Chains A and B, each alone.
Chain A
Amino acid sequence: MLQKRIVVCLDVRNGKTTKGIRFRENKDIGDPVEMAEAYYRQGVDELVFYDITASAEKRSIMIDVVKKTAQKIFIPFCVGGGLASLDDICRVIDAGAEKVSLNSQAVKNPKLIEEGAARYGRQCMVLGVDALKDDRMPSGYRVVINGGRTQTDKDVLEWVKEAEDRGAGEVVLNSIDADGTCGGYEIRLTKTVSENVSIPVVASGGAGIPQHLTEVLTEGKADAALIASMVHYGTYTTAQIKAELAAAGVSVRLHW
């Protein structure tokens, strides 16, 4: 039976892991390669590096992080943030990432999903969506881009369906409303999308306690749950979270 995945997200700025709330107030919390290796040993199922480096010239630091990580950890990892062209995607994949995540750039240039999928296959192309609650939208959620600062006219569900048609193999749904609050995932968001698309859905934003993961992986019908603060500050270990999920009847990888 396919197991539910626990994905740890590392926001990386200028080669350092950082953590902020609702994309603001970032502070550095460690070396991404060392942290990735530690999480690998603790049994995390997958990692995501999200590059929030502002200046384009410093982006090559991220490629270095990817290369070093690929030499040390043998689980899949995804890289997102600022990938704007097929060349950018190639650089990350060739450095050893399993997948790339496209967010704002996919909205601005949807053909990029098709180009990436044609080159590396759908399984490499992850759509990242920042979703903002908005009752005026058909699904109840609006796509926002540029780190949550810019609203678009896209409905979240419609956009995920379009991206799936264009070649996205997976979607990470980040709730802007829940992100960094530790108050729980936006269950209705993941459930709505998961029931209406055929690609796996990764829930993101809002995890504070293991119960939140259980909720989104059962009631919320997510295939994977993304966490950051819960483990970055030592509040929980991946093993503790997995043990709680297993006790609640969620199938997870317990032996690594």
Chain B
Amino acid sequence: MLVGIVDYRAGNLTSVCSALSYLRIDFIVGRSPELLQKCDKLIFPGVGEAAAAMKTLRSLGWDDFLKERIQGGVPMLGICLGHQIIFEKSEEGNTDCLGLIPGEVRRFDSAAGLKVPQIGWNTVEREKESPLFDGIPQDAGFYFVHSYYTVPSDSNVILGTTDYGVRFASAVNFGSLFSVQFHPEKSGRFGLRVLENFLKF
């Protein structure tokens, strides 16, 4: 098995790479789609701003590549910004996103006295059984850092939800596409387990 990490210059990939090395997984980091043609699984991480990220993704041809792969049934795991821009539209910079899953991305309301971004450990309430959370207790904490949250159009895609002022979709699955708002690579033993579970698909 060869795992491809999509590199579109959005944040730092060191921790994702460290986690995969620790799990003894063969991976390559691809700065362009051609480099990940042969990969059996894709990880789509990212930290940063949606509009800039989408601009880079399009200019490098990642948008078409990712659509093709998902349609072809290649398992992909989105993380953080990668979890958000797979939806159709984001309030961040009023950006048209990849549209791999119907739905949109909204900003937390800081007027409600909420600290934005949400930074820290929060739990994921399982809405649906999924092998992504195999062996992970309900009270396991995951590390979140984000100012925006996802709202899928079809609630059937939601695997787990998290409460931060609003209850939002923190883990989703649509076909071969899985994605999580938290950082599994920074969520300790249970985060690593999420990665391992995904890599078993």
Contact = CB atoms under 8 A, between A and B. Distances in A.
Nearest to B183: A76
A220 interface: no
B119 A255 contact: no
Interface in A198-212: 198-200
B145 A123 contact: yes
Interface stretch (A17-25, A90-98, A177-185): A90-98
Interface residues of A, number: 34
A120 B12 contact: yes
B115 A199 contact: yes
Interface string A220-242: 00011000000000000000000
B187 A75 contact: yes
Contacts of B188: 40, 74-75, 256
Interface in A66-117: 70-72, 74-76, 93-96, 98
Contacts of A76: 143, 145, 183, 186
Given A1-B123, A5-B120, A74-B192, A96 B14 contact: yes
A122 to B, nearest CB: 7
Tell me the interface secondary structure of chain A in the complex: loop
A3 B185 contact: no
A98 B115 contact: no
Interface string A1-36: 111110000000000000000000000000000000
B117 A74 contact: no
Interface in B161-201: 163-164, 183, 185-192
Contact of A74 (B11, B116, B146, B185): B185
Contact of B15 (A1, A98, A200, A253): A98
A70 B17 CA distance: 10
B56 interface: no
Nearest to A253: B141
A256 B189 contact: yes
Contacts of B137: 255
B121 A2 contact: yes
A198 B112 CA distance: 11
Contact of A254 (B12, B139, B186): B139
B120 A121 contact: no
25 contacts: A2-B118, A2-B121, A2-B122, A2-B144, A2-B164, A3-B121, A3-B122, A5-B120, A45-B121, A70-B15, A74-B187, A74-B192, A75-B186, A75-B188, A93-B12, A98-B15, A120-B48, A121-B49, A123-B117, A124-B47, A169-B117, A198-B110, A255-B190, A256-B141, A256-B188
